[in-house]
Structure 1
Amino acid sequence: MIDVLICEDDFRIADIHKSLVEQYAELNCIGKTNSIIDTKRMLEENKVDLLLLDIYLPDDIAVKRLGEFRVLRPNLDVIVVSASNHDEHIKKSLRYGVYDYILKTDSLKRLKSSLTSYIKYFHTIEAQQTFNQDTIDHLIYKQQQYEPIKVLPKGIDGITLDLVRHHLMTHQDGLTAEELSEHLGASRTTARRYLEYLIRLKHAKVMPIYGIVGRPERRYFSL
């Protein structure tokens, strides 16, 4: 079992990441934190294999504390999930050897790919006793090709898009635009715009559900 700690100051995103982690039988979410001080306490008191780390936290910029995290947990792996595309944040994270750096503009699908890759990486490196160049190359380069991050169109926000995906994933019976608008606290028009965008990406589908009378109800489902 791989123990995962989520450090994210936005509780909505933290819940999305927790739901995603819980989809994997190999991953165990041991908790969520929203500050440097709480993250250090959790690292001191618990076995943590993987830290999902936001950059902007209330008490500091997290990349400044990567060294401290590694002192507390020398074998800790880190996946940064942040809105920051600041060159110094990215360079410092990479130089500290983070497993991955994911921008929040389109993070959910990208994080899912990274977690899938990380599970294979973790089990390989734990089980391997002898190494050759092919094994090392596999571990270093992960043999994982990600889709490039696309610029979101006008009217589509990355965090809201992740929330929409989350609600679709957790509602197996699908959602109407009206139901989604209630979950988001947004208008029906806004909800429909995000749903139709996910359909264009082939991340969702729509089906007409026929009731007793009247027009069929359009329900959206995650793919």
Structure 2
Amino acid sequence: MTQYTVLIVEDDQQASYTLEQAVNQHPLFKVIAAAESAAETHGLLGQMPDLVLLDISLPDGNGMDLLRTMRQQGITSSVIMTTAERESTTVANAIQLGVIDYLVKPLRLSRVHQALNDFVAFQTKLEESNQIDQLQIDDLMGKNKAQLKARKTPKGIDSTTLSTMIAHIKARKEPFSAQEIGDELELSRITARRYLEYLEEQGMVSMTLNYNTGGRPKQLYHVIG
């Protein structure tokens, strides 16, 4: 079982202790160190933690500046901000610097665990495959949920049928035609082709032409990744 390492950067000892307890309650995470200042943090980043819980207000600096320095030094640890700062410009700057979550104090245990679970889900999806399609990228970046509220699928594409087709074609090892998929899912060739063209637009499948048919070239699809 993978266990992710965590560095806590927090100048308030009580808040740091509370965070450490919350993190260590999660079976997939382990706090390896805690720092109370920017200077102390620099000395601990060499351990390359998987995740840094970073406060903005530090006695000898600013967490945002510390994050910029980390990225300039090539330290790729994921970062979750834990702060009382609520100004929209501060939140926007943190997002631009690549934080994966932003937790406002006073922290709630359930919200901390939600952030940790989101981190695990993100890492798991990235590790599942060397290449991922557009739908998976949108899911990783949280776009699918927002899009589904306004429009589940384009006109003419039923979400249930689409999900069924995706699950079906992912199990196939060899290239397939729209006619074959249509027959297997009891859809017309035209309908199956419409869905496959949509999946091609999303980067999930690619289409090639088979000229070895003795006649008109045949469109064959295969799953990417």
Q: Please, what TM-score do these two structures have when normalized by structure 1? A: 0.60
1:49 counterpart = 2:50: yes
Alignment of 1:50-199 (within 5 A): 50-141=51-142
State the secondary structure of the residue aligned to 1:90: helix
State the secondary structure of the residue aligned to 1:98: coil
Distance 1:48 1:54 in 2: 16
Distance 2:48 2:144 in 1: 28
1:162-193 Cα offsets, whole Å, 9 max, x none, are xxxxxxxxxxxxxxxxxxxxxxxxxxxxxxxx
Amino acid at match of 1:80: M
Q: How many angstroms does 1:56 deviate by?
A: 0.4
Q: How many angstroms does 1:144 deviate by?
A: 8.2
How many residue pairs match? The answer is: 144
Q: Which residue of 2 aligns with 1:32?
A: 34
Q: Which residue of 2 aligns with 1:17?
A: 19
In 1, are the aligned partners of 2:26 and 2:113 still within 8 Å (CA)? Answer: no
Unaligned stretches of 5+ residues in structure 1: 146-223
In 2, are the aligned partners of 1:117 and 1:144 still within 8 Å (CA)? Answer: no
Q: How many angstroms does 1:74 deviate by?
A: 3.5
Unaligned stretches of 5+ residues in structure 2: 147-225
State the secondary structure of the residue aligned to 1:66: helix
Q: How many angstroms does 1:143 deviate by?
A: 7.2
Amino acid at match of 1:33: A
Q: How many angstroms does 1:142 deviate by?
A: 8.1
Q: How many angstroms does 1:116 deviate by?
A: 1.2
Going from structure 1 to structure 2, the CA distance change for 1:105 and 1:19 (only over 3 Å counts) comes to closer
State the secondary structure of the residue aligned to 1:48: coil
RMSD: 2.0
Q: How many angstroms does 1:87 deviate by?
A: 2.9
Distance 2:4 2:141 in 1: 19
Going from structure 1 to structure 2, the CA distance change for 1:100 and 1:142 (only over 3 Å counts) comes to farther
Which of structures 1 and 2 has the bigger CA Rg? 2
Q: Which residue of 2 aligns with 1:4?
A: 6
Between 1:71-80 and 1:91-100, the stretch displaced more is: 71-80
Distance 2:138 2:52 in 1: 23
Amino acid at match of 1:22: N
Distance 1:33 1:133 in 2: 39
Q: Please, what TM-score do these two structures have when normalized by structure 2? A: 0.59
Any runs of at least 4 consecutive aligned residues in structure 1 with deviations exceeding 6 A, and if so which? 142-145
In 2, are the aligned partners of 1:48 and 1:73 still within 8 Å (CA)? Answer: no
